[in-house]
Structure 1
Amino acid sequence: MCKKNALNFTLCFAIILAAFTFVFSQKQDSVDIPTLLRDVKQKSDENWWKVITEYPNYTYKWRKVWRKADKNGETEEKSELYELFFPTKCPVKKCRSVFVLFAENGKSISTEKIEKQRAKAGEKLERIEGDARAQPLSSNQNVPLYWMKFGYYVRRPFSNEQKIIVLIDGQEVLEKCEFFAPTRELINGRETIVLSFRPRADAVFSEETKYMPQTEGKVWIDAADKVFTQLAIWQKGTKFAETTSSYLLDHAALARDMTRTKEGIWFPRLGRVNGLDYPNLFTEMKSDFSIENFDHHYFKTEVKAVEINNSVKN
């Protein structure tokens, strides 16, 4: 029993809270998994449609990080940090975001250079949106789970084309894996359903996901919004010191993570393919590559037609 003094009561409360959190995160639920996955896929597709249509109303930071072993076996790291802007309309197959470089390998770019880049970015957005071939963003809502897709590209020899050599494909995970052992976890104060998964024995995967039969993993679902929020995949038999979502995302071979904005939309936060720490899992991928999106800021301006006063014109 907790004695009635402030110190003992505080200590007792902390122990009870820690025990509750552990039990909450470890307990298994009686969940109708097929029904849950069907409902969550629908909600995730609806959320992705919001992502597509709302991207032009957001700006955010975008960080790329490469880690690889040098000839001496030492790990070297390179990184780039950008601010991204999206056009409201663009030519089909040429819809690209506009980048402003903020830092390179941890060293900040000067304010003067950033402002010059922003001016050029504004001009580029105007050119893209002013192109005669530019069209509003697609209104097709029958979109697959692109939020769960993330690939590592390499340039083809003697060509400007790129090919994917490793791919995280959430659609294949849903269609070709079996899910089991539902538990719950509190992530950023939000209740989350966690499902373990493993590839079915008869599953046939694509060239870019041929590593999958050697893996297992977990997927996280926001209990309130019914949206897939995280995906972590690792080599079978890998032992982890912890099983929390943050630890598994940091130590998985492949990871995908979402972040919820104040407006209630789940945007991609992290995509990662880690061949450096899993050298036997991928044929061509031996480095650790990740892209992180963060610091989302919502803005939306409405331009109303106004008659310009002659005195102002002159």
Structure 2
Amino acid sequence: MALSLQSSTNQFSSKRGIDKAFSTGRWLTVCKTLVLVVAVVVSSMSEVVGQRSPTLSLTLPVLTTPAAHRFQNPPAQLDAQAIQTLLREVEAKHKEANAKLEYYSYILKRTEHELNDKGEGKRYRVHEYRVFPRREGLQIAATLSENGKELSPVKLAKEKARANKEWQKHRKKSEARGQKSEVTKSDEGKAFPWFDTLDFTAMPPERIEDREVVILSFRPRAKRSDDTPQKNVDKFVASLKGQVWIDPVEKIILKFQAELTRDFSAGGLSGWLSKAKPGTAFTIENMRLADCRWVVKRVDSYAIGMARGPLWLPHTYRFRVVDEMSDYRPFDPNATDLFAK
């Protein structure tokens, strides 16, 4: 996907952000499983508790130029070789374009729904943030409103001051290490392009908003001893089935929809504390701005799984998180005030 997916089910370096939204131990373990995998399948994102996650080779948002023509007569069926060629072209396009949006902030409206055993809503929370992506580590976010109520001027000023302080610390660390990425245990092992662990089938093409769109369905590829995924992110992707909508001219993923086909746990203590179950699903939608930049528009995640509660007894959890992104704008990474106009 350019899915290195910098998309956005986003993790934040914020005392008021995700840590507050998922304040109970149950929600924290839930997020460490689902947000780890969904966020990674959408971008260079991290776990809620701050551990860096490996990224896929598809990164959103992306920047492209408008195509001069449209794919007027798409083939009714793409063979396996043509599908792989298209996916590699899409991956390369997203990699190339993503760097041009490195210093773009955006507004994130996050709605968190806690569900009962029947999937019915028990309660929900809504927060709005101004998010500043970082090349490494957690994204920095300043809370703007909570449950539809804007922060008071005093609280908002504190949030902005905290975000600026976090960004300056990030700058100094980046300069000290010469922008070299840290090597972590999660980065070890054989790397897999995200699509190499899946089998794809071409579906009848569709026309979406005056665009001819290629639709590919996918499912887990039969395991082979020589290419068994080792990383958590690869294992997760290898467990998905779903569909991807691609603009074959601009090489852009317009929509990515996937569902977990088998139990997934991250391994280690996190995996023991919680696991995602089949039925866990997410949808990523992208949009083109007026200046022809392509960005993430919406990420809708639904999770069902097992988490350990009091006395380490397992219980089933269900929740839904909807992220809506808007107001993308460039910011000066060298500025002392990220919010200065």
CA–CA distance in structure 2, aligned partners of residues 47 and 284 of structure 1: 40
1:46 and 2:93 are equivalent in the alignment: yes
Pairwise mapping of residues 282-297 of structure 1 onto structure 2 (< 5 A)?
Answer: 286-290=317-321, 292-297=323-328
Unmatched 5+ stretches in structure 2 = 1-73, 262-278, 307-313, 335-341
- CA drift of 1:54 comes to 2.2
CA–CA distance in structure 2, aligned partners of residues 110 and 178 of structure 1: 51
1:274 and 2:296 are equivalent in the alignment: no
- CA drift of 1:218 comes to 0.8
**Do 1:60 and 1:293's aligned partners in 2 also have CA atoms closer than 8 Å?**
no
From 196, 199, 205, the counterpart of 1:175: 196
- CA drift of 1:129 comes to 1.8
Pairwise mapping of residues 202-213 of structure 1 onto structure 2 (< 5 A)?
Answer: 202=223
CA–CA distance in structure 2, aligned partners of residues 107 and 40 of structure 1: 43
In structure 1, the residue matched to 2:217 is 196
| SS of corresponding position for 1:81 | strand
CA–CA distance in structure 1, aligned partners of residues 213 and 177 of structure 2: 40
Greater shift, 198-207 or 179-188, is seen at 198-207
Pairwise mapping of residues 58-77 of structure 1 onto structure 2 (< 5 A)?
Answer: 58-70=104-116, 74-75=120-121, 76-77=123-124
From 130, 136, 146, the counterpart of 1:83: 130
CA–CA distance in structure 2, aligned partners of residues 73 and 268 of structure 1: 27
In structure 2, the residue matched to 1:133 is 176
In structure 2, the residue matched to 1:109 is 151
- CA drift of 1:295 comes to 1.5
| SS of corresponding position for 1:286 | strand
CA–CA distance in structure 2, aligned partners of residues 233 and 270 of structure 1: 14
Paired amino acid for 1:63: K
CA–CA distance in structure 2, aligned partners of residues 29 and 264 of structure 1: 28
Unmatched 5+ stretches in structure 1 = 1-26, 139-162, 164-168, 237-250, 304-314
CA–CA distance in structure 1, aligned partners of residues 179 and 193 of structure 2: 27
| SS of corresponding position for 1:292 | strand
Once superposed, what is the RMSD of the aligned Cα atoms? Answer: 4.3
In structure 2, the residue matched to 1:247 is none
Considering Cα pairs closer than 8 Å and 6+ residues apart, tell me whether 1 or 2 has the greater RCO. Answer: 2
- CA drift of 1:294 comes to 1.6
CA–CA distance in structure 2, aligned partners of residues 171 and 42 of structure 1: 12
CA–CA distance in structure 2, aligned partners of residues 133 and 175 of structure 1: 36
Paired amino acid for 1:124: E
| SS of corresponding position for 1:29 | coil
The count of residues paired between Structure 1 and Structure 2 equals 224
CA–CA distance in structure 1, aligned partners of residues 205 and 260 of structure 2: 23
1:224 and 2:249 are equivalent in the alignment: yes
**Do 1:193 and 1:223's aligned partners in 2 also have CA atoms closer than 8 Å?**
yes
In structure 1, the residue matched to 2:140 is 98
Deviations along 1:273-306, whole A, 9 cap, x unmatched? 4124xx69xx987333436252143336699xxx
1:37 and 2:84 are equivalent in the alignment: yes
- CA drift of 1:49 comes to 4.2
Change (3 A) 1:72 1:267: closer
CA–CA distance in structure 2, aligned partners of residues 235 and 123 of structure 1: 39
Deviations along 1:18-65, whole A, 9 cap, x unmatched? xxxxxxxxx971334422432332333332343245221x12012333
**Do 1:41 and 1:227's aligned partners in 2 also have CA atoms closer than 8 Å?**
no
CA–CA distance in structure 2, aligned partners of residues 47 and 212 of structure 1: 18
**Do 2:90 and 2:252's aligned partners in 1 also have CA atoms closer than 8 Å?**
yes
Percent identical pairs in the alignment equals 18
Change (3 A) 1:134 1:295: farther
| SS of corresponding position for 2:78 | coil
**Do 1:51 and 1:266's aligned partners in 2 also have CA atoms closer than 8 Å?**
no
